[in-house]
Amino acid sequence: MAGEGGGQRTKAAVPGWLDRVRQWWLRARGTPGYERHTLLLVLKSTLAATLAWIVSYYVLDAPSPAFAPFSAVLIMQVTVYQSLLQSLRYLGAVAAGVAMVAALGFLGGPDLLTFVLVALAGLIIGRWPALGAQGPQVATAAFFAFSTYAAATSVTDKVTQLGQIILLVLIGCVIGIFVNVTVAPPMRYRSAEYGIRSLSTALGDLVSDMYPVLRDGELDEESLRQWRWRAEQTGGLITQAKDGFRTAEESLYFNPRRLLNRHRGRRSFEGYGAVFAALERSLYQVSSLTRSLHEWHEEEGGRYDDQAFLLVYADFLESLTRISQVLGDLDEDSLAEQARQMCRLADEAQDCRRSVADGASRAGLPLADPARPYGVLVVESTRLMEEFQHCCDVLQRYVDRDA
């Protein structure tokens, strides 16, 4: 019993933060997710900074060697393309700041008035849109350059040390790009899949909540309000998915790893982009559908002329849910089977969509009356079916092309 109690005390003595670190490490080692990407970026940044420090401190014996490792880490971006783009902007910002100090310093000397002019000009130039996120580095580089300029004792030392700042920044950028390109250059194939998964899952979850209520014919105010609210909140999700998709596209630019990657047939995300756009439009269409249902319920108390129409519409939404579930599990490794499955489901959904149109026609529902929801429901069913059919066709063409 004593031994058992001692074991319990030992287990309880493990700090919570240590257990969280262990879990984080297990996730980083086990799956290629956020944790692994973060760990890899930290290790690569450390390597780039170390190499830059060796060159600047031991090889060049620079008086301000920190510029090189700082630059190497600063431009270690998520993608190779961003590393190249940001390094050019950063180098331009530093060069502008140093050149400005050289010009104003030699004209006015290292006094307070010159520093005021340097700060003013650096902050103005830093707002140049071409420099992007690196704009503030103009003023930062100018401040460091001014302190170096003021500390130098001769004109030769001033020129040499100002030029050396640009050289060190260039060395840091080159080393950072070299490490990012040669050491596991980041690929983001899965980011495109994740964007499609997130949108299709959101769409499928919403529609899967709608069709059972429509089938029962009991459209209460709370359900309708929740559907409308959820549909209107998908804007933020779309923005996040777009960012991930953009990162996936950028990861292909100037990246040698794609030549060795198992997805060798991939030259772009054009197919995935078409599916992503179709899902985005589908979410807006569902938002229109939920808004029409909610407004009709608020104005007329939700009295529907034909319960059979709601039944066939529920069947149609259920068929879309099944397609959304497949898209929610989209995986490049099993895309061929998923595309075939989606095409079969799309055929079934087309039958349901035709039943919606036929049912509305047979029942003589007032489709042209803008105050009634039936016209919107029929129109959105056609649009939704077109978008889902487009998703299936695009993925099938993609699979056939790479077969």
Q: Which residue has the higher pLDDT, 248 or 261?
A: 248
Average of pLDDT values for 391-401? 82
pLDDT tens digits, one per residue of 341-374: 989 999 999 999 999 988 888 877 777 777 678 8
130 and 216 both lie in a single domain: no
Average pLDDT, the chain: 82
Residue 86 counted as domain residue: yes
Q: In the prediction, which pLDDT does 107 show? A: 87
CA distance 73 to 41: 10
Give the Å distances, CA to CA, from 186 to 42, 177, 180, 183.
Answer: 13, 12, 8, 9
If one compares 384 and 108, the residue with the highest pLDDT of the two is: 384
374 vs 381, residue with greater confidence = 381
Q: Report how many domains make up the chain.
A: 2
What's the pLDDT tens digit per position in 117-143? 999 999 999 999 999 989 999 999 999
Same domain, 33 and 129: yes
Domain boundary among 141, 161, 182: 182
Residue 6 in any domain: the answer is no
* The predicted structure's pLDDT at residue 59: 94
CATH for 270: 1.20.58.220
Answer whether residue 9 is part of any domain.
no
* Judgement on whether residues 120 and 73 belong to the same structural domain of the protein: yes
Q: What is the mean pLDDT of residues 220-245?
A: 81
Which range marks the domain in which residue 327 is found? Answer: 189-402
Residue 339 has a pLDDT of: 87
Do 128 and 143 belong to one domain?
yes
Mean pLDDT for the stretch of residues 214-224: 83
Higher-confidence residue of 402 and 169: namely 169
CA atoms within 13 A on the CB side of 379: 14
Q: Report the pLDDT value the prediction gives residue 14, as an integer from 0 to 100.
A: 59
Domain boundary among 167, 182, 197: 182
Going by the DSSP 8-state scheme, the letter that residue 57 receives in this structure is I
- More confident position, 22 or 50: 50
Residue 264 has pLDDT above 50, yes or no: no
- How far CA 372 is from CA of 305, 342, 375, in Å, comes to 10, 33, 7
Longest dimension (CA), the chain: 95
Question: Does 179 score more than 50 pLDDT?
Answer: yes
pLDDT at 183: 82
Q: Which of 152, 182, 212 is the last residue of a domain?
A: 182
Whether 177 and 193 map to the same domain: the answer is no
Q: What is the pTM of this model?
A: 0.57
Select the highest-mean-pLDDT range: 24-33, 200-209, 263-272, 293-302.
200-209
pLDDT at residue 30, rounded to an integer? 66
Phi, psi of 66 (to 5 degrees): -65, -20
How distant is the alpha carbon of residue 57 from its chain centre?
38
Selected residue with higher pLDDT from 256 and 163: 163
Q: What percent of the chain has pLDDT over 90?
A: 32
| pLDDT value at 314 more than 80 | yes
Strands, E, within 209-269: which ranges? none
